[in-house]
Amino acid sequence: MSLVEILPETHDVEISIRYATADNFTAQPVYQRAGCYLHPEAEGLLLNAIELAAALSLKIKIFDAFRPSEAQWVLWNHTPDPDFLADPRRGSPHSRGAAVDLTLLHPNGQELEMGTPFDAFTPRSHHGNLEVSVEVQRNRVLLMGLMTTAGWDFNRNEWWHYQLFDARRLPVLSDSVLDRGMM
């Protein structure tokens, strides 16, 4: 299966692949090379979301997209928490190229306040959490509205995670599907 590479130049997004850095919940790089790839169907929905965000003078910033199955095992072995991570034996939507982790940027390039960092494994990260400020609630609703209008499904536990409906119909993919591996 061929995945589509998502680049700032071709998709008008900012990309900050956190698992290629130590700025993630493992505190160590998981990927040896940053890469942002999606299944062609997911890329189409991302293009919809980019257009909707641009109409509001906002931009999308991507933290993760395709996650090779090898990386899913690294994350699971570090923190086997089924409330926030897919068990790699079942496969993650990320490992199918069918999920994206992201946020929105103001026209000045600053991230909208979402109340927790990306990958904060806490109930404060849940959509609908009323313990976060009204501004954060509005920003999360804005992100969810934009993404669901673009055709994405959401994860109730993670304000940053969006995936294709019925993502599990797609095969789990390893790093070997990429011309230049990430692992």
Q: What gap in Å lies between CA 93 and CA 134, rounded to an integer?
A: 30
Distance CA(21)–CA(141), nearest Å, equals 28
Is residue 93 a part of any domain in this protein? Answer: yes
Write the CATH number for 76. 3.30.1380.10
Q: What is the pLDDT along the chain (183 residues), one digit of tens a residue?
A: 699 999 999 999 999 999 999 999 999 999 999 999 999 999 999 999 999 999 999 999 999 999 999 999 999 999 999 988 999 999 999 999 999 999 999 999 999 999 999 999 999 999 999 999 999 999 999 999 999 999 999 999 999 999 999 999 999 999 999 999 999
The predicted structure's pLDDT at residue 31 = 98
pLDDT computed for residue 1 by the predictor: 62
Q: 137: which DSSP letter?
A: H
158 is catalytic: yes
| pLDDT of amino acid 83 | 87
Q: Is residue 39 part of a domain?
A: yes
CB 59 within 8 A of CB 53: yes
Residue 138 lies in a domain: yes
Residue 183 inside a domain? The answer is no
Alpha helices in the chain (DSSP H): 8-11, 40-55, 69-78, 134-149
Whether 21 is in a domain gets the answer: yes
Does residue 182 lie in a domain region? no
Q: Is residue 75 part of a domain?
A: yes
Closest to 52 in 3D by CA, of 135, 145, 140, 139: 145
The total domain count for the chain is 1
**Three-class HEC string of 156-175:** CCEEEEEECCCHHHCCCCCH
User: What is the domain extent for residue 128?
Assistant: 4-177
Q: Is residue 52 part of a domain?
A: yes
Please tell me which residue in 5, 51, 111, 158 is annotated as part of the active site. 158
